[in-house]
C-alpha cells in the first residue's frame, strides 16, 4: 500500500512550516494568498488528504457536521440538504449524512456512529427521538439543530414549522372555498403525519364537519399509486366526499389521477390539497393547491446557526419558526 502523505511533506514541498500548512487548510483566509497558492500546489502535487481522525484527536473535534434525515430520495429532504450544503460550501466543514429510513432504532445507531467521530455539529430531522437518542444528543458536546419541525423542548437549537398549524390552515382554506364534506388521505402515519391529521381534525371539528369515516390512512410508505388507492377506497365508502386534504404531494397527485379515471371533475366534484408544494403541484393539470414549507431555508438556517456557534458568534434565537403558507391553485377553487 502507498505510504500516506504527511503534513510535514506538504510543508517541505511548499517551503513553509507545518503549522502554516495546517492553518491554510483549516482557515485559508488567515494565510497570505501567495503562500496559500504554494501550499495548494503542494497538496495537489503530492495528493495530500487531511486525516480527520488526527485532527479530531488534536483538537477534540473533527470538521464534520453530521446530518440525519429519513430519506435521500424524497425531494423534501434533498431540499433541506441543499440549504445545508449552500451555507457550508465555502467553509472548512464537511457534511456527512445518514439515512434513518424513518426507523428510530436506525437513528439511534447512526447517532452513535457520528458521535464516535466527534463531529463539529449535528443536524437532525424531527423532534421525535427515542429516549436513548435524546440522551445521546443531550451529551453530544457539540451544537445540535433539530430541523423540519418546532416543539417545546429543543435539545439545543431548532428550526422548522408546526405541522399541526400548517394542516389546520389548509383545512380552513378548503372550508373557505365552500367544501363541506372533506376527507383526509394519509400514508406511513409517522408522528409528523399524525400531527397534520390532528390539525385537519381540529379545524373540521370546529366547523362541525369532521367525519372519521372520511379518513383513509395506511401505515404503508407514501407514493403516487398509494394516493390513487386511498382516494378510491374513500370514494367507494363515502362517494359524496367533496374534497381531500392529502398528507403529502405524492398522495395529492395520485388522488388527481384517480379522480380523472373516475370521471370526477377537479375542482368541481372534488377539491384536492397536498402538502409540501413540490414542483409537480404547479405542473399538474389542474395545478394542485399545497402547503408550502421552507425546506431550503430550514437547512440553510440550521447550518448558519451551527457555524455561528462554532465561530463564537450569536446564533440568534434557539427556536426559529419559519412557518408555512397555503399556495392556493385551481384544484380547490370550490365545488360546482
Cα angle 101, 74, 197; round to 5: 80
Task: Look at residue 125 and give its three-state secondary structure.
Answer: strand
What per-residue confidence (pLDDT) applies to 311?
92
Closest to 256 measured CA to CA, from 233, 240, 272: 272
Q: If you average pLDDT over every residue of the chain, what do you get?
A: 93
Please write the tens of the pLDDT for every residue from 9-28: 999 999 999 999 988 887 78
DSSP bridge partners of 96: 66
For residue 87, is pLDDT > 90?
Answer: yes
For residue 60, is pLDDT > 80?
Answer: no
pLDDT band at 118 (very low <50, low <70, confident <90, very high): very high
Q: Which domain holds residue 35?
A: 7-50
Give the CATH number for residue 108. 3.40.50.2300
Q: Do 171 and 284 belong to one domain? A: yes
Helix (H) or strand (E) holding 144: strand 144-147
| One-character DSSP codes across 6-69 | PHHHHHHHHTS-HHHHHHHHH-GGGS-HHHHHHHHHHHHHHT----HHHHHHHHSS-SEEEEEE
Q: Do 204 and 289 belong to one domain? A: yes
Mean pLDDT, range 275-287, rounded to an integer: 97
Q: Do 236 and 173 belong to one domain? A: yes
* CA–CA gap between residue 331 and residue 174 (Å, rounded): 10
Q: Do 15 and 116 belong to one domain? A: no
How many domains does the chain fold into?
Answer: 3
Least confident of 29-33, 202-206, 230-234, 243-247: 29-33
56 belongs to a structural domain: no
107 belongs to a structural domain: yes
What per-residue confidence (pLDDT) applies to 35?
92
Q: Do 238 and 311 belong to one domain? A: no
pLDDT band at 283 (very low <50, low <70, confident <90, very high): very high
Mean pLDDT, range 278-287, rounded to an integer: 97
Q: Do 157 and 170 belong to one domain? A: no
Per-residue cell: 293: 414549507
Q: Do 24 and 84 belong to one domain? A: no
Mean pLDDT, range 31-35, rounded to an integer: 91
335 belongs to a structural domain: no
Please write the tens of the pLDDT for every residue from 142-184: 999 999 999 999 999 999 999 999 999 999 999 999 999 999 9
Q: Do 302 and 284 belong to one domain? A: no
For residue 29, is pLDDT > 90?
Answer: no
Write the CB contacts of 274 (distance below 8 Å, at least 6 apart in sequence): 246, 248, 249, 251, 252, 253, 281, 288, 289, 290, 291
Q: Do 129 and 272 belong to one domain? A: no
pLDDT higher for 323 or 22? 323
What per-residue confidence (pLDDT) applies to 57?
47
* CA–CA gap between residue 87 and residue 301 (Å, rounded): 8
What per-residue confidence (pLDDT) applies to 61?
67
Give the CATH number for residue 14. 1.10.260.40
336 belongs to a structural domain: no
Q: What percent of the chain has pLDDT over 70?
A: 96
| One-character DSSP codes across 266-305 | TTTT-EEE-SB--HHHHHSSSPPBEEEE-HHHHHHHHHHH
Q: Do 38 and 186 belong to one domain? A: no
What per-residue confidence (pLDDT) applies to 234?
98
Amino acid at each position: 500500500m502507498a505510504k500516506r502523505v504527511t503534513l510535514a511533506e506538504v510543508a517541505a514541498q511548499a517551503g513553509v512550516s507545518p503549522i502554516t500548512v495546517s492553518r491554510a487548510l483549516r482557515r485559508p483566509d488567515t494565510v497570505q494568498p501567495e503562500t496559500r497558492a504554494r501550499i495548494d500546489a503542494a497538496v495537489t502535487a503530492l495528493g495530500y488528504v487531511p486525516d480527520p481522525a488526527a485532527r479530531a484527536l488534536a483538537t477534540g473535534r473533527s470538521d464534520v457536521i453530521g446530518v440525519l434525515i429519513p430519506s435521500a430520495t424524497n425531494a423534501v429532504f434533498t431540499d433541506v440538504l441543499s440549504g445545508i450544503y449552500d451555507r457550508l460550501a465555502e467553509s472548512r466543514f464537511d457534511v456527512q449524512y445518514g439515512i434513518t429510513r424513518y426507523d428510530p432504532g436506525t437513528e439511534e445507531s447512526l447517532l452513535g456512529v457520528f458521535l464516535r467521530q466527534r463531529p463539529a455539529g449535528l443536524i437532525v430531522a424531527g423532534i421525535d427521538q427515542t429516549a436513548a437518542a435524546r440522551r445521546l444528543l443531550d451529551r453530544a458536546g457539540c451544537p445540535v439543530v433539530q430541523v423540519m419541525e418546532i416543539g417545546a423542548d429543543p435539545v439545543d437549537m431548532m428550526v422548522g414549522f408546526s405541522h399541526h398549524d400548517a394542516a389546520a390552515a389548509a383545512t380552513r382554506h378548503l372550508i373557505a372555498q365552500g367544501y363541506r364534506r372533506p376527507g383526509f388521505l394519509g400514508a406511513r402515519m409517522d408522528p409528523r403525519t399524525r400531527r397534520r391529521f390532528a390539525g385537519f381534525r381540529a379545524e373540521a371539528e370546529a366547523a362541525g364537519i369532521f367525519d372519521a369515516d372520511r379518513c383513509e390512512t395506511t401505515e404503508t410508505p407514501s407514493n403516487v399509486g398509494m394516493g390513487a388507492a386511498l382516494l378510491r377506497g374513500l370514494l367507494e365508502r363515502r362517494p359524496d366526499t367533496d374534497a381531500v386534504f392529502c398528507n403529502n404531494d405524492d398522495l395529492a397527485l395520485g388522488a388527481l389521477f384517480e379522480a380523472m379515471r373516475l370521471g370526477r371533475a377537479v375542482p368541481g366534484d372534488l377539491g384536492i390539497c397536498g402538502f409540501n408544494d413540490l414542483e409537480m403541484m404547479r405542473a399538474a393539470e389542474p395545478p394542485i393547491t399545497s402547503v408550502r414549507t421552507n425546506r431550503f431555508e430550514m437547512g440553510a438556517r440550521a447550518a448558519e446557526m451551527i457555524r455561528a456557534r462554532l465561530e463564537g458568534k450569536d446564533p440568534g434565537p434557539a427556536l426559529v419558526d419559519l412557518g408555512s403558507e397555503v399556495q392556493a391553485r385551481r384544484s380547490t377553487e370550490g365545488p360546482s
